[in-house]
Every structure is written in C-alpha cells, then in structure tokens.
Structure 1
Amino acid sequence: MFKVFISTCLLSLAAINSIAHASEDFTQYKTQSEAKGKKDRNALLEDAQNLLADPTLTHTQRTYVLHRSALHLVRTNQFQKAARRLDEFAAHLAQFPDTNFLGKYHWVAGDLAILLGNNTDAQRHFEQAISQFEQSGDLRMKSHAHRMLANVLSQKQDYFPALAHVFQAKDTANKINNAHLFSAALSTEARVYRDFHQLDKSLDVLNQQLEFQLGEPDISLAHISSTYYSLARIYEKLSDHHAAIEALNKSYDIDKKLDDKNYMGLTQLHIAKLYIELEDLTAARTAIDQASSLFSLVNNEKNQARAQAVQGQIALADGDYVKAIQLITLGLDKLNAQDNEKLYQAFQVKLGMALAYEQPSEAIELLSTLLDTVNEEDNLTVLQSLAVAHKSLNDFEQALYYQERAFATKEHINQQAITTRLEAKKLNSEIGLKRLEVNELQAGLAQQQQDTKTRTVVLAAAIIVLINFILLFYLYHLKRRRVMEKEAELLNQSLSLKQQLLADVSHELRTPLTVLKLNIEALEYNLTEDPKTTYKVLQRRLDMLNTLIADIYELAQADTNNLRLEFELCQAKALFDDLTIAIAPIIDSSDLEVIYINQLPEKLQVECDISRLNQVFNNLARNSVHYTDQPGQVKITVSQQQQTVVCTFEDSAPGVSSDALEKLFERLYRCDKSRSRDLGGSGLGLSICEKIIELHKGHIAAMHSELGGVVIQFTLPIKP
C-alpha cells in the first residue's frame, strides 16, 4: 500500500516539474518580448512556436503568445504566416474571451491590413480596437489605435476625421502622461498634414515634435532618429534634397550611436536615392555601397535586395543598361511579391526602363503587365519606357501612341498637383474656421457649465445638510435599537449554547462512567471470568474520557482566545509531504487504497503551526479510516488556487446525508453515535480542526465525494 503511495507522489512530482518548466519558459519569453530596445524577433518566433506546441500552457499564456507572435510576424514582413496566426488568435479568443486582447487582435490585424494595402479592412479593425480598449480601460493602446486609424484615414484622403483621431490620440496620451505616445501622435499629425500637402504645417509639427523630444529625458534616441527621418521626407516633398540629406545624416548619426545597422543601412539607401535625383552618382554609389555592407552584416536579405535594385537604378542613370538589368534582376529575385507588392512593382518598373534600351521585346512583355496597375508616377515611367521600347523595334506608330499617353498622364499629374494645392489651401481655411467655431463653442460651454455648477453646488449643499441631519437622527435611534436587540439575541444564544453544551457533555460522560461503574462492581464482587479483559476495557474507557476532556479543554481555550499557535515560515510542498508521511501508520491498511497528490510549486511558502496542522491531519486521517468501509479508497490532494493552498481528504462509501453534512463541524455531533464511541471518537475532532484552520486564517468545509463518501477540504493562505 505504501509503495502505491510513493509511486503516486513521484508521478505527481513529474507532472508538476513539467508544468513548472513550461511556466519558466513562458516567463522568459514574456520578459524578452517586452524588453526595450532591439529584439531578436526570429528567435522569439521560434520560442513562441515551441510554447504553442506545449499542452501544459494555460489559456491565458496562450493568448499572450498568440498576440506577441502575430505582432512579430508582421514586424518581420511574414504576412501570410501573420494572417494564419491571427486566425488562430481569433479562434482562441472566441473560446476564451478577453476584451483587452480582442482589442490587441484588431490592432495587429489593422497593422497587417495597412502593409497589404487594404485600408478598408484596416479602418474597420482599428475602429473595433478603439471600442475594445475603451471597454477595458487600456488608455495606452487606445491612443495607439486612434493614431493608427488617423494614418489609415489620411491615406483614404479623409483628412478631417484623421486629424480628429490624432487629437484624440494626443489627448489620451496626455491623460496618462505618456511622452512616447504624445510624440508618436505628433509624428502622425505631421504625416496627415504632409498627405494633404500642408507641408509647412507638417514641418511646424515635426519641429515641435523634435523640440518636445529633445526636452524629454524619457524619449529614446530611436524616436528622435525617426523624427529626423520624417523631416527628410518633407524636405524631399519640397524638392529640397540637400536639406533632406542633412536630416538623414543626423538620423544616421543617432542610429550609429544605437548600433542599429539595419536602420543605418536604410538611411544610406534613402540618401543614395536622393543623390540619384541630384545626379551626383559618385555620392550615390558611396551611400549605396555603405548600405549594402551594413545589410550584409545583419544578414538582411530583403534589404540587400533593395540595395542591389538601387545600385541598378544608379547604373540606369549612368546609361549602363546591361549592368542595371543584372543588378535589378538580382534584387527582384530576392524579393517576394506577396510580401510587399508595391516595392516589387516599383523595381519591375525600373527593370522595364533598363530593358527598353537593351531588350525591347522583354521590356514590352513586362511593362504591359504593369500598365495602369501602378501609381500614376510609375505609370508615367511605364508609358515612357514602352515608347522607347517600341521605338527601338522601329514600331513608331506604337511608340507615338505611348508617347502621347505619357504626355497626357504628365499633364494630368501636373493638373492634379495644382488641384491638390488648391484643395489643401481650402482645407487649411476650413480647419481655421472649424477651430474658431470649436473655440467659441468651448468658451460658451465653459461659461454655461460654470453658472450651472455654481447653482447646483449651492442647492446641493443645502439639500445635503438637511438630508444628513435627518439621516443622523434616524440612524442614531435605529442603531440604538439594533444594539439592544443584538445584545438580547446574543445573551439568549449564549444561554442556549451553554445549556446545550452542558447537556451534551453530561450525556457524553454518563455512558463511559456507567460502563466504568459496572465493570468496577463486577471486579469488586468477582462477577467477571476474565479480570484482565475487564481491566483493558476500563483502560480504554479511561482513555476515551481523557480524550474527551482534552478536546473540551482545547475548545474552551479557543473560545476564550487562549489557544496560542507557534507560527513559522515553511516550504509548503515539503510540509505537506512530511504531514502525509507522519499519518502513514494511521492510513496504512491492506484493505485501504491511499492516493496522495501534491501539485504545489517548490518555492511556495506558508506560515503555520506545524504541530497544530499535524493534529488536523491526524483527526482527518482517523475519520477517513474509521468511517470508510473496507476495501475502500482514501485520496489526499494538495494544490494551489490563486493565493491559497487547498488540501482535501476524500474517502469512499459510506457517505452521509446532506442534512448531516451541514452538522459535521458541530460539537459532539455524530452521524452514528454508537459506532463513534466504539471507535474512540469524542465527536469534537472536526470542531477542533475548524478552530485550528480559522486561527491560520483559512477555511474548512465538508462536501459529498465522487468516491461515495465525504470530502473535507481546508485552505491556508500563501505567504507573499
């Protein structure tokens, strides 16, 4: 029997070790995921895959891993895998709902939709995210969602709603005093102004952002670098390429301090493109060679492909079409059209330009698939390249056709630019008027609120004073009456309990004393045939009396708060193992199967009186053994539930009725009194257990057992 007990313990230990190992892996993953600065996202994705394959991962931990891994897949441009992971995430949330993580699901899905060019889906997801974060009270993520929605609306040319969401993002960031969020909202505001060609306003906002960042010690250098990069984009829009290069060099210097080689490479790649526009091909080659070297150091194949394509653009600008074709083709081979379709098409356009001079037939085949599928500026390049290709093939009619279309497209772009500038000025005027209207409304509303507030305060004060006086008067009399009723009730209850206790104790003492008296008389008058047996009966009855008197004394001490416990800090798992081993002589029976399961972590601690807990274990063990038909089963389980240790003693048939179950902790109560006396019970064991557990600030209760008997369950608080 004891071998079964030991085997069960070992199996329990193995299961607990497995759970603990999974928990440790998750904690490490979470720490690395939330660490500030650069992250090895590919390594984190491998860790996430291993965690998701672990069946011991809790549903809460799985929610976290699904969210973080989906985000990392988006950040590493693995868009198809990200979409599949988001589907898993959505299915998991449907089974285990979580308002805040549902908001995060929509946030990541919206981010992915932006990268895939699906602004309608992105808008829907970010609107859902804002709603979920509003419900969960996560203001940080709510500000993020407003900012991202503003980006989407700006791309859809809904500039007024975009600015409204920017202002909400800034306001939310201010509410929680988050400098990073406020800075990010300023960046988005600048982008919105840039999108509807309010470049002067965009510059003002970016300079305001830069001033704010330089004055905030908590803002990271990476954010300041990003602001310089955004300034460069505005200068580029204004065709001030030298100013753009200067801003990019400042961004590069900061990235160099951070040793962020990937961003350093991207900055040099952008500088190279600007030098191509300035027709300074020597400087462009220097910049792109540096970018290519940096991308090689970090082993970023996609950015290496971009660098090769830009090297091809330099060769194209230099008239070396063969080299341009070779380099751009190498870059395209390393890119995945599905990951970034716009970038892929842009490089295809450049390849078509080079092919038009060297391989016109291949150029026509490639460019025909791109015609009218790319943006207007690239479409102009496609038309011009088709004209060159047809001219190289002496197909002057088609060459003239594409040249005329190119001229018409260029005229349309110029006209659209003029219209956009006019609309931008109109929008600027409308924004000014709306701001004036808002200011006037706010001023009027503030005055109205102040007047209403004053009147309300005066009236409320008068009403509160009157109500308080009435309530105090009423409560005084009500409290006095209730105190008197309570005192009378407690007095009557105490008298009843005292009478009941005296009656129960006298009843309990009468039976063993009667037996003692009869046996003593039998010895006195030589009426017994076996005096030794009679002496043993007398000894057993005296032991029962001693047990009863000792139990009554302990309960009396507990009732008068004189039962003192010697608390000490213990390792919970080892403590319960020792307590179970101590009761082995009681529960070790050939006809009784004992199962012991200890699921507590190794480092968990409780503060307790070990001797008193040993007393509880002894009482519960004796009850389980004495009141279980043999052959039978006794199951002892110890586990952690939130901030408590839960221990259960569960036995097989016979059970007790529901009425009897509620009375098991009453003093001197027995379901079968004659049987209890035969077994030496005082009827006070469970009452003493209840008192000891209460002094440990725990709880004890009795329930029906699935094994057919009774479950006694008690809890102990965990030491923080």
Structure 2
Amino acid sequence: MYLARVYLDKRDLANAELIINAGVEASKTAEDSRALSLNLFNQAYLYQLQNKQVLALNSYAALAQTYKQLGKNSSLGSVYNNIGNIYFKQGDFDDALTYYQLALPLIDIEKNQQNYANTVMNIGRLFLKLKDYPQAEHNLNLSLQYRSATEGPVGFIETHRNLGHLRLAQQRYTDALTMFDIAEKTALRHNLSGQLIVLQFDKIEVAYKIKDTALMQNSILLLRPLLTPNIQPILIAAGHYFEALYASQIQDWQQAEEHINQLLEFKVYQSEHFAYQNAIKLASKVKQELGKHDEAIELLLSFNKRYQQQQEANRLSLLTQYAQLYKTNDKEREIAELKKLAVEQENQQLKQQQQNRLIIFSFIIIAILLLTYINFVRQRSRNLAKENALANALMEEKKQFFADISHELRTPLTVFKLKLEELEYDIADDPKSTYKLLSDRVNSFNALINDISLLAQHDKGELELRLVSIDIYDFFKRAGEELISLAKEYQLDPKVSICTISNDTAILDATRINQVMANLFSNACRYTTSPGQIYFSVEATETSLIIKIEDSAPGLNKQQQQQIFNRLYRADRSRSRKHGGSGLGLAICRELIEAHQGSIVASDSSLGGITITINIPINKSID
C-alpha cells in the first residue's frame, strides 16, 4: 500500500500498477476493508494518471462501496466529488452534477471546509460550462465564503480564477482582470509558480479580447522566466501558443512562426488553457502572412489526419478498458469456481472414507453404497455438462456482444470519417448540416457508452435506485404530455388515460422511471407507421402500478416479442438503423423495471401493433 505511493510519486506507473493490484488482492484475501479502501484509492489515482477514466470510475465505485461498509461518510463524499470530476472532464454534465449533489450532504462543513468548498466550486464551474451564469455565480460566491488566502491558497486562487472566467464569458473584462489580479497576488505571496503561469494565460486571453497590447506584453514578460524545462509539458505548449498570439498581435510573423512550430511538436489535441482549433487557425494565418501557402495547407491536412488517428486511439482505449473490466469479472468468477471445486473435492474425500468404513458391515450395504455412488457420479456429470454448456453460452454471448458493439460503432465511425473529409477538402454541400450530423454522431456515441455503462453497473450489482415518494397522477400526467408532444412530431394520434385515486403516491426512482418512459415512447413513435395511434394508460391498484403503451401497425410475432428485451436485438435491422438507436434501450428498460421488483412484457395490441405492459409493486413509504 505505501510502496505503491512511492512508485506513483516517481511516476513509475508500470511498477505502481503491479504493486497496487497485489495490494487489492491481498486486502480482499485478508478481508481488511480499511486496507482495501487505501489500495482502491491508489488504483483509482493510477488509472486517472494513465487517462483510463472508465477503469478509474470502476475503482471509485468499488471504493464507494467500501466506504459505505466502513461508515466513512466524509470520505464517501470525497469519492463522489472525484467521480463528478471525471464525468465533468468527459463532458457528461448530468452525471457530474448528480455526483456533486450526492457529495455535498456527506461532507462535514465544520471539519472539512475545503472539501465542501471544492465541491460547491465544481458545481459552479459546471454551470459556467452550461452558460447558466446566475447559478454559476451563486455557487462560486458560496464557495468563496469557505476559502482563505492564508489557510487554503490554492482553493482561494481556483475560485477567483473561475469567477474571472465567468466575467470573461459575460464580457465584463475589467471585472475579470480584477479577479485574476486577486488570485495573482495570492500566488505571488505563496510562491505558487504553477498558478502564476495559468493566471498569465488568463490575463493574456483578456488582453487579446480587448486588444490591450501593453497588458499582453507585461504578462508575456512575467511568464517567460516561469516556463522552465522541469514543469508540465502541457504548460510549455500553452506558453508557446500565447507567445505566438502576442507576436501575431504585434505582427511579428517570424517570431509567431517559431513559437507555432514549437507548439505543434507537442501534438496536443485537448487543453484546458487554450482551444487547439484556435491554435491551428493561428498557425495557418501565420503561414499565410509569411507567404507559405503550401505549408498552411499541409499543416491543416496533417492536423486532420493526426486528429483522426487520436480519435481512433481514444476509441480503442475505451474498448480496451471495457474489455479489461469484463476480464476482471471473468477472473473473479474463475476463482469462485475453483473454491467451489475444492469444496466438492473435500466432500468427495469424506464420502469415500465413509464408504471404506462401511465395507466391514456387509456386502449388501456395499452394493447399496455403490449404486448410490454411481447415481451421484452420473448426476454430477450431468451437472458438469450443464455448467459447461452454460459457460460456453455465456462466452458466446460475450463474444457476440463485443461483435455487435464493434458493428454498431463501425458504420457511424465510417460516416463520421467521410463527413470530416468533406469538411477537410471543402466539398460539403451544406457545412452547417454536416457539422450538425457530426454532433449528432458524437451524441449517439455518448448515448451508447452511457447505455453500456448502465448495463455494466447492473451486471456487477452496482445499479442503485434513488427512491422518492411521487404523486402518481401528476408524475404520469407529465409523462403523457411528453408523449403527446412527441407523437405529433411523427404525425401519430396519441391517447392518454390515467386512472388513480387523488393524492395516491408510490415509492419509485423518478429519474429511472422517466428514462423507461422516454425509451418506450421513442420506440413506439419511431416504429409506428404514420398515420397511426398510440395509447398510454396508467392504473393504480392497492398493490400494483400497471402501465401500458400500445401502438398500431406494424406488429411483432410471438418469438420477436420474447426477444425484444435482449441486448442489441433488433426485429428489423434495416428499419432500426434507419431510425437510429443503440439496440440497448429495451434491455435497459427491463433492468430498471426489475430493479423496482417489477415486470415488463410485450404482447399483441388491439390496435394492430404491440403492447408493452409494466407491473410495479406499490410501496407507500420509504424504509
């Protein structure tokens, strides 16, 4: 556990991984939850350093479970905050906000003011990304109430930087500079060179916006002695970008080219300090100003090619991480099977000893025992055959799952590449439409990854419900209104019927049930031939909540009705691809309904299509 920290501090990640994996296994063997929590923390930190965010989330999830067992709520809050930071980095703001909100009530403000302030600041930073400026300002100012320039200077600086970025987004440039100046004075007082560097980046960006060349020059002069060879490469790369930006502002194109050439050597595609697309545009402009038109074109072509290679590498890394998760689960199952086999072998030895003692009594008893043993062996063989068949079926199902996922990704990625090439060579008929198509493709990739992540959580038993008391009528009335709006887009005739007693309530995970309704409404609208009908009904009894979604033609045969809840199953693949979707929606619906101890089935509809029937037990109170 402690040796791993040494390797992590030295950034010897290969040896750190070996030590950490051994520590996790040893902690599980010893059934030592405290040691396991420390090793899991090291593992999550390692995966973040390796940019393996999927594996980091998996380790944090295991760490959260361990902290729950230990009753360490404050530590659990810190884990939720870290999970939120990973989702924020991935651009998944909904999940990021969910985990930040889970973290807040777990953190003791009196004992951990800095942790509480960090989480509140992260929420403000998230709303800033969403351009909800009033909410962002509220959270950042709340975070500042728990900050101190003396006791926690780094947090104090970060909060003021975020407030500066908020002012910059609001085009309040003077206020932005005021925030950056406050942060800069604190960084100078505590000799925080890393913070000083990024603050100069911030000030140069403001100066460029307001065309204040003198301010840009002053920040550049402060920045140069700070950019020593031993700092992070990404900061050096950013330094070259801002040097080139300043040189272009004063039209020193030769100096700008020198810094641009050095920046491109770093091959940075994502940076929190500057947009790489802006760097490419600046580089092209510099080359054009110097009359190097061919180099400008070659630079753009080279960037697009390297960017595509980077995207492919990211995709392969993501698939590798999911494969590693499944491999780990297979190893755990293998260990369980070995333990089971050892117990069976021990039982077999005891039975054999008992048979040897009984031989002295009589030949008849021996014959009976032999017949019993033969029958036992025969039954055991049948059981082993069933287990082998089940294991083979699971293996084939896993192989098919990965094959289907690869197939799901291959076609949209091919289209994605072709559309990028259209933009690259300026042959797209409608660039705005092409950009929208690319954005839709990225959204579909994110949706597919979220679907896979949810199913992986369910397979590992980590799918948690956030149960709340809801008013059945109001809740499903809103769902019906969403269906009516969606159906009109598809030129369908919707009907909604909600039969419930006034003020009748149920205990459900509202977010998950909304997810189920959205999936079922979307399927019904997309696959029903227009003009057609959709009938949505809800009935509350004393013990159950019965939900039905019926649609008109086309329908499905009995075999298809039984299979539509299987993962990646499509009754009509060509029709499904035309309408989009990952093929996981109905499988997710089944997992979420079963998590509520309910059932979901498909049957023929009197309207000519299919009927999806959901039956959920009603609970009136939360235990």
Report TM bin, short chain.
0.3 to 0.5
How does the TM-score come out when normalised to structure 1? 0.40
Give the structure, 1 or 2, with the largest relative contact order (CA under 8 Å, sep 6 or more): 1
How does the TM-score come out when normalised to structure 2? 0.45
